[in-house]
Structures are given as structure tokens and as C-alpha cells.
Amino acid sequence: MANSSTNSDDPPVSKEVPGKARNTSPLLADSGSSASSGGDSETFSLDDTMRDFPVHFDRTYHKYKAGSYPFPNDAQEVERMNEQFCLIRAAHEGKMFMADIKEPGNILDIGTGSGIWAISVADNIFPDAQITGIDLSPIQPHIVPPGVRFEQQDCSELDWCRPADSFDFIFSQCLMGSLKDYQQLLITARKYLVPGEGWMECCEVDNIPSCDDGTMPEDWPLKRWSEWMVYATEQGERPLRIAPFVKRWMIESGYVDVQEVVVKIPLGGWPALPRLKKLGKRFHTLVHDSLPAASYKTFNEVMKWDRAKIELFLASVREIYGRRPSADEERQMGRMAPPPPPSQRKAKT
């Protein structure tokens, strides 16, 4: 999260804010958003948008700017996004954002998805604010709070077809794998924030699992899957792993008072604290249920893997969630090798 500067033409010398925001303590295991320039950007009312979505691997995907977002947009995905929202909110102990926002008049929710964040903020925190949610897919509900509206728009465009200096708060969550240039999004968003008062907040998940006590094996199936997803999305030029770099990109883009809050989310029911144990179990289920949707289009289009190979890979990842396979199944399944290390990856021209 960060505050916009007072001069929208010259980025000031930014300074990071020291403090105790970063959470580095281990978790304990249980033992027993001047006018628009009128460029090429487009924005549509959702009522004017066709909803005949293309189908791949038995799932529907966005039609507008097809291929920009690697994940589905069907009812199953809406359910997954809503559960993801609930889990992130639970990990943040009920908070829907971290920035110190006071009575904002205009809010922009980038990549609104199911619209649950915009609707929840309107219902529970800022009922008088005008909240606009933008997304490539028109999958949001029609019945919403009075101040909420949804539009179909590509946030990677440089012109957002709306007045500059007009938003008190711009929020984005889980845009990983969606953008070729995440920092450009930050630069574009900055000119639409109220100078000196507008805030930008990005909530991203680092998809590479980590372990406090060093007991996670390097070839742990879920870690191996995450590494292949990072590799594939880098090759596809829409990188999945962006969370570790957002703070630096915000500072380089001219934001001030930049702060980073790192919150750990357990995977599984191992934490000792009941709240974290429940959160970990739900997150474990979410990750398990998300594997096919996250894998099919990316591995097929970028890595040219067919469905059989993808399923074989996912079977090895799912081992961590189910029964031990038989000897025959293990021989059929094999083990997926790691992706090429950075030093051996071909640079894209």
C-alpha cells in the first residue's frame, strides 16, 4: 500500500517507511483508483457485453481481450474467488485493506472478479462511497449496493477513460499471472489518484510455498508444481510470482509512504492456534481444488503439454492430499523433474 505524491509530473525521491509491518515470526505447529486523453482504451457497461465465453478444458474463459487472464470465469471459479477473499480477510483478521483510508469518495477495484470485495466494502465500511469495479469478465452480480458499479475494462491499458486525480483509493488483489508489466499498472494508477491523499494498495500472494523450520523437501510436489507455474508464466510473459517485487516497483513508480505487510497463511491443519488451524485447513482445500483450473490453460498453451501430461503431473501433486498410491500407480505416475534453472532458460527475443 502507498500514498500518491503531490506532483503527478515529477516523481519525488521516495523513501521506504521503517517499522514493524513485516511478519517474520514463525507459525507454531500443533503437536498431539485533467480528463482522459481519449486513446485506444475501451470500457463497457456490463449490460452491453456479450457473455458467450469460450470454453477450454470444460471451463469457460473471458472473451474480451482473450488470453490476458489465464484462469476460468465460470461459476466454479466465482466460488473459488469468493472463498479466496474470505481466507485472505481471515488471515488479515477481518481487515479488507491495510491503508489508513478515511471516508473516501471514489474507490476503484482493479480486477474485481466476482465483485465481492467492492460489495463488502460498500456494505460494511464505506456505504456512501462510489465504488467502481473493473474486470475483463462480466461475471459480477446485478443486485449490488447503491454506490457500486461494475465495468468491463482492461487495466493494462495506459488510458482508463476516466478523470485523472479522481480516486481516493485504488485497490487490487491477486492480479498475479494477469499482467505483462505490473509496474506499468502502478504508474498508470498513480495519475488517477488524488495528489497527496490518494492511496494504492496491492494484495498479492507469493505462490512459492515456504517453511519456517526448513523441513519442506525441495522436491515436495506442491513446491515443484509452483516452480513449474512460475516458469511457465514467465515464458508466457505474464509472471505469476510478483508479490516479492511490488514494494520496490511502487517506490520506483513514485509512490511515497510505502509500507509492506506480510501475513503468513498456513497450508494444512498443522498450526497450534485454533484460528490458524481452521484457516490452514480451508486454504489447503482451496489450493487442492484450484490445481486443474490454474494448470490446464497455462501448461497447454505455454508449455504445449497435452491434457494427459497435465493430469499425470497433477496426480503427483495431489499425492500430498490423498492416499498413498500403489506401487503400480507410482511407476505410472513417476516424478516431475524441476523446471530449467534461471541460468539455463532461453531469453525471449
Residue 79 has pLDDT above 50, yes or no: yes
Q: Is the pTM of this model over 0.85?
A: no
Is 38 part of a structural domain of the chain? yes
Is 69 part of a structural domain of the chain? yes
Is 285 part of a structural domain of the chain? no
Is 310 part of a structural domain of the chain? no
Beta-bridged to residue 59, according to DSSP, are: 56
Is 183 part of a structural domain of the chain? yes
**Total domains present in the chain:** 1
Q: What is the pLDDT of residues 261-289, one digit of tens each?
A: 999 999 999 899 999 999 999 999 999 88
Is 306 part of a structural domain of the chain? no
Is 14 part of a structural domain of the chain? yes
Is 153 part of a structural domain of the chain? yes
Average pLDDT, the chain: 82
What does the alpha-carbon distance between residue 130 and residue 206 come to, in Å, rounded to a whole number? Answer: 31
- Which pLDDT belongs to residue 321? 40
Q: Specify the CATH number for the domain of residue 131.
A: 3.40.50.150
HEC per residue, 269-322: CCECCHHHHHHHHHHHHHHHHHHHHHHHHHHHHCCCCCHHHHHHHHHHHHCCCC
Host domain of residue 165: 2-218+239-272
Q: What is the pLDDT of residues 190-249, one digit of tens each?
A: 999 999 999 999 999 998 898 888 888 888 889 999 999 999 999 989 999 999 999 999
